Amino acid sequence: MAGQTALVVSAHAADFVWRAGGAIALHAAKGYAVTIVCLSFGERGESAKLWKQPGATLEGVKDARRKESEAAARALNAHDIQFFDLGDYPLVAGPEAKQRLVRVIRQVQPAFMLSHSAKDPYNTDHPYATHVTLECRMVAQAWGHEPGENVLGAPQLYLFEPHQTEQCDWRPDTLLDITDVWEQKRAAIECMEGQEHLWSYYTNVAENRGNQFRRNSGGQAGGRPAKYAEAFQSIFPRTADTL
């Protein structure tokens, strides 16, 4: 699918790694140019290990998070990664930030988009990022917004897996086999040194989703022997000629 593009909107600088690293690497291998937008560095609420280091400062933590995320994006062969630096806990996107995201969406013209679950009582930054993404997707489709620019079509928005699925009303309808790119995802995971406590957790998630992929692709009747997978929930109806 050379020439295709995709866009990932991540609330914090590590979210795209845990939840969509496999999708990024897999589509990059298929020729997609994948752009990642990190709305914040997650410097306040998701960098506890970094804050425990002697002499830690806000700018120092943000710099460390940037370096980790850039290294992870390289491991996944992402086309581009952009940092909006909007702050976190809480994440707040004002008019200028939204306008910037609209411009990115129109420039990328993604075949599909990825962001967070629509609900997450444990971390309201996550659904807020998706709300902003949906709003900016809508604006990017409007012919009367900045007339003369390329308007957006109707890319699917897939919601990647939250940390506590049963509390987020998140129900996956798409399973993606990431076995072939698992080593890339694991390398990206290990770039996120500030959240080392999550490495094994998200490895287990990928293994469990791999088991679910095998079961739903045929099970004992001959399903694909996927070892690792990621799960997503689609927002919009998908058009098809066959089922």
For position 94, which CATH number holds? 3.40.50.10320
Q: Which pLDDT does position 224 carry in this prediction?
A: 87
> What domain range is 44 assigned to?
5-234
- Residue 231's pLDDT band, with cuts at 50, 70 and 90, is very high
- Residue 2's pLDDT band, with cuts at 50, 70 and 90, is low
Residue 242 forms part of a structural domain = no
pTM (two decimals): 0.96
Whether residue 155 contacts residue 30, with contact meaning beta carbons closer than 8 Å, is answered with: no
CA distance 158 to 16: 13
Residue 122 forms part of a structural domain = yes
Q: Which pLDDT does position 221 carry in this prediction?
A: 63
Residue 241 forms part of a structural domain = no
Q: Which pLDDT does position 3 carry in this prediction?
A: 84
Residue 104 forms part of a structural domain = yes
Number of compact structural domains in the chain: 1
Higher pLDDT, 220 or 48: 48
Residue 240 forms part of a structural domain = no
pLDDT in tens, 80-134: 999 999 999 999 999 999 999 999 999 999 999 999 999 999 999 999 999 999 9
Average pLDDT over residues 195-214: 95
For all residues of the chain together, what is the average pLDDT? Answer: 96
Residue 76 forms part of a structural domain = yes
Q: Which pLDDT does position 79 carry in this prediction?
A: 98
Q: Is 149 helix (H, G, I), strand (E, B) or coil?
A: coil
pLDDT in tens, 18-36: 999 999 999 999 999 999 9
Residue 184 forms part of a structural domain = yes
- Percent of the chain whose predicted confidence (pLDDT) is above 70: 98
Q: Which of 155, 65, 50 is nearest to 112 (CA)?
A: 155
Residue 90 forms part of a structural domain = yes
- Percent of the chain whose predicted confidence (pLDDT) is above 90: 93
